[in-house]
């Protein structure tokens, strides 16, 4: 093995992370013959040693109190799955798309990534929406199709209903989105979705 191939393993060797006996043997043989690589190994070990001796910086002693107070001030329990921001964002985004044909809406990238990762986009209708959705599918996944769209719509509404029933405060917002009539309104509502931290901070900055 060349030195460049050996050296990339030296950090892991110092860390005890190499378990392949064959590779360990190669490293031993090479290190026995190559002073440059031995120096590199010693440097890795020395830096690790310096870092390991750093005293951790201590945070405030009242951190547990602060955290529990923040939780108490939040006044909410841990959320069930249907109320998680990513899940709700996905359901609501689907509702926007299904309800108003608002395909021109381009949610912000962070929100869009959450929607993509939910997998809910995979079976949306034809046309502009399908092209748009297909562009979000992983490579090799092909076109989004109509095949299961009716089941998908039903399932989406079932999920949305769970959200509506579980969190009264969001009900009007979600219903409004589902019945939204214009692109501008839909986009405005989207900005107000719970869990969209970026939008919340943007709003607070504007206050």
Partner 1 sequence: MMQVHTAELMVTRESRECSAVSPPEDELVSRVLRGEEAAFTEIVALFQNRLFNFVRSRVRNRELAEDITQEVFVKAYYNLDRLRDPARFKCWLFSIAHNHLRDLARRRKIETVDTEESGIEHYVDKATPQSVDDRERTAAMVRAALSRLKPEQREILVLCDIEGMAYKEISQAMGIPLGTVQSRIFYARRRLKEVLTDEMGFAGEEI
Helices (H), 15-124: 21-33, 35-52, 63-74, 85-100, 109-118
Distance CA 150, CA 155 (A): 9
59 versus 135: smaller Cβ distance to partner 1:
59
43 versus 154: smaller Cβ distance to partner 1:
43
Q: Which stretch binds partner 1 (CB under 8 A): 66-74, 159-167, 174-182, 187-195?
A: 66-74
Q: Which of 84, 146, 150, 184 binds partner 1 (CB under 8 A)?
A: 84
Kindly tell me the sign of the dihedral angle through the C-alpha atoms of 141, 81, 170, 198: negative
12 versus 189: smaller Cβ distance to partner 1:
12
Decide if residue 67 touches partner 1 (CB under 8 A).
Answer: yes
String of contacts with partner 1 for each residue 15-44, x by CB under 8 A? xxxxx----x--xx--xxx----x-xx-xx
Decide if residue 13 touches partner 1 (CB under 8 A).
Answer: yes
87 versus 190: smaller Cβ distance to partner 1:
87
For residue 44, the minimal CB distance to partner 1 (Å) is 5
Distance CA 47, CA 45 (A): 6
128 versus 201: smaller Cβ distance to partner 1:
201
Distance CA 91, CA 118 (A): 9
In this structure, how many other beta carbons lie within 10 angstroms of the beta carbon of residue 112? 15
**114-123: long-range contacts, CB 8 A cutoff, minimum separation 24:** 114/85, 114/86, 114/89, 114/90, 115/89, 115/90, 117/86, 118/86, 118/87, 118/89, 118/90, 120/90, 120/91, 120/93, 120/94, 120/152, 120/156, 121/94, 123/147, 123/148, 123/149, 123/151, 123/152
Q: Which of 48, 148, 154, 192 binds partner 1 (CB under 8 A)?
A: 48
Q: Which of 2, 78, 106, 142 binds partner 1 (CB under 8 A)?
A: 78
Residues that bind partner 1 (CB under 8 A): 7-19, 24, 27-28, 31-33, 38, 40-41, 43-60, 63-64, 66-68, 70-71, 74, 76, 78-79, 81, 84, 110, 197-198, 201
């Amino acid at each position: 093995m060349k030195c460049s191939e050996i050296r990339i393993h030296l950090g892991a060797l110092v860390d005890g992370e190499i378990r392949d006996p064959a590779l360990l043997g190669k490293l031993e043989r090479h290190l026995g013959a190559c002073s440059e690589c031995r120096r590199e190994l010693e440097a890795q070990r020395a830096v690790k040693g310096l870092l390991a001796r750093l005293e951790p910086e201590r945070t405030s002693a009242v951190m547990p109190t602060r955290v529990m107070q923040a939780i108490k001030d939040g006044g909410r329990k841990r959320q069930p799955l249907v109320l998680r921001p990513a899940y709700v964002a996905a359901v609501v985004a689907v509702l926007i798309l299904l309800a108003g044909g608002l395909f021109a809406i381009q949610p912000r990238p962070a929100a869009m990534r959450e929607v993509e990762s939910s997998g809910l986009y995979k079976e949306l209708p034809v046309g502009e929406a399908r092209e748009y959705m297909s562009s979000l599918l992983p490579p090799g996944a092909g076109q989004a199709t109509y095949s299961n769209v009716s089941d998908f719509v039903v399932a989406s509404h079932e999920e949305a209903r769970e959200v509506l029933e579980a969190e009264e405060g969001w009900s009007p917002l979600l219903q409004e989105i589902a019945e939204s009539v214009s692109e501008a309104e839909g986009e405005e509502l989207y900005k107000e979705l719970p869990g969209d931290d970026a939008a919340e901070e943007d709003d607070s900055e504007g206050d």
